Amino acid sequence: AQSVTQLDSQVPVFEEAPVELRCNYSSSVSVYLFWYVQYPNQGLQLLLKYLSGSTLVESINGFEAEFNKSQTSFHLRKPSVHISDTAEYFCAVSEMDSSYKLIFGSGTRLLVRP
Amino acid sequence: EAGVVQSPRYKIIEKKQPVAFWCNPISGHNTLYWYLQNLGQGPELLIRYENEEAVDDSQLPKDRFSAERLKGVDSTLKIQPAELGDSAVYLCASSSGSSYNEQFFGPGTRLTVL
């Protein structure tokens, strides 16, 4: 069975500092990988996704994530965070042959301080 | 383009009372999902519809939960009777059925059972 582990429940960081949010997954088949962001009182928004091809994927607001098959990881990084990046971040995985079924991690709260 | 709409946004009820949540997906999206998000956890799929057919309801507690999607558009999720442990956020999502199945989420309904 698939599973997603986000070891860090909360990551505090100062503004303009770099950040990495860790995500590891477990699956016996090929997968798609996603990062969703949830701002307070809002629904989840897709931040970026890995489907195939280049293992490094980027979002429009400066986040990037790298698919590492050998380590079964999909860590999210940003070189310089803003106050507005404060939110809950969820890593998710789906099997390629049943892509409708998203399995989410427990989330990491990114808290950016001035 | 309007996003996924959910109502109400917040609901407070006493245990043993019934409650219903409503979802209007993005226009043209055939697939609709209901998720349960407990505090501090990622969303978990309750039920998935393809048009008006419930194709995956394996995680829906059928003794007290029910759902319908009449005419394959709007959907309603009902709990009767509600229990204290049902306090959570109920998320609705929709997708167009593309190959990698990007899901678009509504803002959710936060249920508090007293």
Number of H helices, E strands in chain B: 0, 11
What's the mean pLDDT in B88-111? Answer: 88
pLDDT in tens, B29-69: 999 999 999 998 999 999 999 999 999 998 999 999 999 99
Report yes or no: A54 and A60 within 8 Å, Cβ to Cβ.
Answer: no
Residues of A in contact with B4 (CB under 8 A): 43
- Minimal Cβ distance to A90: which of B33, B42, B107: B42
Q: Please tell me the distance from the alpha carbon of residue B18 to that of residue A55, in angstroms, as a whole number.
A: 47
At residue A29's C-alpha, the angle toward residues A26 and A33, to 5°, is 60
For chain B, the average pLDDT equals 92
* Residue A3 contacts B, CB cutoff 8 Å: no
Band of residue B74 on the pLDDT scale cut at 50, 70, 90 = very high
The per-residue pLDDT for B99 is 59
What's the mean pLDDT in B87-92? Answer: 96
Q: What percent of chain B is predicted at pLDDT more than 70?
A: 96
Residues of A in contact with B101 (CB under 8 A): 94, 99-100
Contact B101 A94 (CB under 8 A): yes
- Minimal Cβ distance to A99: which of B33, B44, B100: B100
Q: Shortest Cα distance from B76 to chain A (angstroms)?
A: 18
Give the pLDDT means over successive 10-residue stretches in chain A (114 positions): 91 97 92 92 90 88 93 96 96 84 94 96
Between A28 and B19, whose confidence is greater?
Answer: B19
Residue B98, CA atoms < 13 Å, CB-side half-sphere: 10
